[in-house]
Amino acid sequence: MWLERGTSKDSKPRYLETFKHSWKIIVFAIVLMAAFNFFSHGTQDMYPTFLKEQHGFGNGVESLIAIFYNIAAILGGILAGTLSQKLGRRWVMIVMSLLVLPAIPLWAYSHTAVMLGLGAFIVQFMVQGAWGVIPAYLNELMPLGARAMLTGFVYQVGNVIASPNSTLQASWAEHLGGNFSLPMSVIAASVAVIIAVLVFFGKETRGKSIEETD
């Protein structure tokens, strides 16, 4: 009985100790998740409003474009997640993030529904492609002692940091007379570069067993 109690006590996650010894990884992951949430929400949340208010498209056209770029997001996540198993987590996230940059003019500054839809397809393919690596990357990055808790924790804190995105873009667009192109493109380009730099200096985790502690 005493042996069982001792074993049970030792097996409990030591969160404070984990935070103390792994705080650099935790801070890195929070900053990365803040950038990633700006990346996804910054390219998605205001896009339907951009299509309706700036371009005057109806609900039908806006819905078709949204369906189109959400299909791209699914495909990008599947492809990039698969490639990261062969090429490594870091390089796939870096490449997918940076490939958003040449698509921004098409995505934010085109004038026809077809070209805007094509731009949105490319951008969301790349954005969610980079995101497709994140579930494995975060789990491999976090220390074993608190992996389940910390993976969700760093994501949610990063999400909170990025939560002003829509308000920021809307306020900026209003200041520009209803022009969403500049706010969307600046945020998308900025966080694409930030993600690439952060991941470049981060750890490569491909091939790491989830049973490993470091």
Which range of residues forms the domain containing residue 155? Answer: 23-201
Residue 96 CB contacts under 8 Å (≥ 6 apart), including other chains: 76, 80, 126, 127, 129, 130, 133
- CATH at residue 91: 1.20.1250.20
- pTM of the full predicted structure? 0.86
pLDDT at 213: 47
Cβ-contact 210, 142 below 8 angstroms? no
Q: Quick one: pLDDT at residue 207?
A: 59
Count how many domains the chain has.
Answer: 1
DSSP state at residue 202: S
Task: Specify if 157 maps to a domain.
Answer: yes
Q: Judge whether 68 lies within some domain.
A: yes
Instruction: Evaluate whether 68 touches 124 at the Cβ level (below 8 Å).
Output: no
d(CA 148, CA 139): 8
Asked if residue 3 is part of any domain, the answer here is no
Tell whether the torsion through CA atoms of 124, 192, 116 and 173 is positive or negative: positive
Residue 64 lies in a domain: yes
Domain assignment present for residue 4? The answer is no
Task: Find, among 214, 209, 211, the residue nearest to 18 by Cα.
Answer: 214
Residue 12 included in any domain: no
Say if residues 152 and 142 touch (Cβ distance below 8 Å).
no
Residue pair 159/33 in contact (Cβ under 8 Å)? The answer is yes
User: What's residue 18's pLDDT?
Assistant: 73
The pLDDT of residue 212 is: 54
What φ, ψ does residue 113 adopt, rounded to 5°? -60, -40
Q: What is the pLDDT of residue 211?
A: 56
Domain assignment of residue 212, yes or no: no
Per-residue model confidence as pLDDT tens for the chain (214 residues): 444 444 445 545 576 777 777 788 999 999 999 999 999 999 999 999 999 999 999 999 999 999 999 999 999 999 999 999 999 999 999 999 999 999 999 999 999 999 999 999 999 999 999 999 999 999 888 887 777 788 899 999 999 999 999 999 999 999 999 999 999 999 999 999 999 999 999 877 765 555 554 4
Phi, psi angles (nearest 5°) of residue 212:
-80, 150
Determine, yes or no, domain membership for 208.
no
- pLDDT score of 7: 46
